[in-house]
A = this chain, B = another copy of it.
């Protein structure tokens, strides 16, 4: 079959999302026989793992848990170079890199005819006002705008058709995925009283904060603790505004750092314009996600928990309606490294190559 011919590459494989990408792609039924090309973030692959610059490092040295896994023993993580990708015939590139690097490398990749699935925030936002928080150096350039125009927000449940033919996928933010999937069906119906505002109180495991050792990723900071951060200023806010078509004053989003390795739970508070009943809400979700294998809608009053979707690619959505029919609490859960990052990226890959959307994900 021709599927064997598709050569993927993962840049930034040393991080947590990179590790999950490696694991998923190494076991992907449609990629069997063609392991991804793995590259580090810098010109040296070894930088991510503290090794000497300039040379390749075994994948199992960087991620011992991937050792001998499905024949990965001999796999190497190599220094980033376009020459490497060309020599291996890379057709599609996953970037699990900081947004500055994605900003720099995506135009080059597209120019070389390589399709890109970018896991950073570099190409997710259409409005320059929303991008301001990233302080991109190339903001306002015509060539940049041309790349942004090609970018498809890689949330299959909302943009399935556009994803199929995309050259560039901007893989959504983890928080944004959990919130948008919970709100979109209701907001699209026009049921939510936007004048009263929507509150999104999200909680994420520590892997969301990245692999760099910092004061805030220290075990002693995170363990036995909970802390809010990025109040009124988190970068994922722009994704909420654009995908849900909201004004800034209509939503408040507060992320928190949970003392667990992985998983996000978003508790979302909406007021309906008029009194609703639970069946109507449930039907709305069921219809909206009827063709979406990676969203699980819970019955009314039955709320998802982080551990139901951890280590899966599902986004779980539940809700509870007050007796007045107007106040509603939505709860949305996903694994920030899978549906919130690497899993959703592979879901996008599946769509891009015409495979089953859930292939290699369940």
Q: A: which residues have CB within 8 A of B?
A: 16, 27, 50, 64-65, 67-70, 196-197, 199, 201, 203, 206-207, 211, 213-215, 217-229, 231-232, 249, 252, 254, 256, 258-261, 263, 265, 267, 269, 271, 293, 296, 303-312, 314, 320, 322-324, 326-327, 329, 331, 362
User: Which DSSP category, helix, strand, loop or mixed, fits chain A's interface?
Assistant: loop
What are 29 sample pairs from A and B whose C-beta atoms fall under 8 A apart?
A68-B293, A69-B312, A199-B201, A201-B267, A203-B226, A211-B220, A213-B214, A213-B218, A217-B218, A219-B219, A219-B221, A219-B223, A219-B259, A224-B263, A225-B260, A225-B263, A227-B303, A227-B306, A228-B267, A228-B303, A231-B303, A231-B320, A232-B329, A249-B326, A252-B327, A256-B267, A258-B259, A269-B269, A311-B311
CA distance A71 to B265 in the complex (A): 25
Looking at the complex, which one of B199, B206, B265, B296 makes contact with A223 (CB distance below 8 Å)? B206
**Within the complex, which residue of B69, B229, B309, B327 is in contact with A65, where a contact is CB–CB below 8 Å?**
B309
**Is A305 touching B206 in the complex (CB atoms < 8 A)?**
no
Q: Does A207 lie within 8 Å of B220, measured CB to CB?
A: yes
Apart from A64-B308, A223-B223: 18 A-B pairs, beta carbons within 8 A? A67-B296, A69-B312, A199-B199, A199-B201, A219-B219, A219-B259, A220-B261, A223-B261, A224-B224, A224-B263, A225-B305, A227-B303, A231-B329, A232-B320, A232-B322, A232-B327, A252-B322, A256-B265
Question: Which single residue of chain B is at the shortest CB-CB distance from A294?
Answer: B68
Bound Cα distance A215, B62 (Å): 12
* A55 nearest CB across to chain B (Å): 19
Given known contacts A218-B213, A267-B256, is B327 in contact with A69 (CB within 8 Å)? no
Q: Which 4 A-B pairs have the closest CB atoms?
A: A213-B213, A227-B305, A201-B201, A206-B219
- In the bound complex, residues from chain B placing their C-beta under 8 Å from that of A50 are 215
Using CB atoms, name the residue of chain B closest to A231. Answer: B320
- Which residues in B have their C-beta under 8 angstroms from that of A305? 64, 225-227
Copies of this chain, count:
4
Known A-B contacts A199-B199, A232-B323; the reply to A263 vs B226 at CB < 8 A is: yes
Question: B265 to A199, Cβ gap below 8 A?
Answer: no
Whether B249 and A220, one on each chain, are in contact in the complex, defined by CB atoms closer than 8 angstroms, is no
Complex interface: chain B residues within 8 A of A65 (CB): 307-310, 312
Q: How far is B331's CA from A218's CA once the two chains are assembled, in angstroms?
A: 22
Point out the residues of chain B lying under 8 angstroms from A331, CB to CB: 228
Which residues of the other chain, B, contact A307 by a CB distance below 8 angstroms? 65, 224-225
User: From residue A58, how far is it (CB to closest CB) to chain B in Å?
Assistant: 11
Question: Contact at A217–B206, with CB atoms within 8 Å?
Answer: no
Which residues of B have CB within 8 Å of A215? 50, 213
Minimal beta-carbon separation of A260 from chain B (angstroms): 5
Distance A296 CA – B323 CA, assembled complex (angstroms): 37
Instruction: Report how far A178 CA is from B263 CA in the complex, Å.
Output: 26
Q: A184 → chain B, closest Cβ, in Å?
A: 20
Q: Which residues of B contact A362 (CB under 8 A)?
A: 27, 69-70
Complex formed: what's the CA distance from A93 to B271 in Å? 45
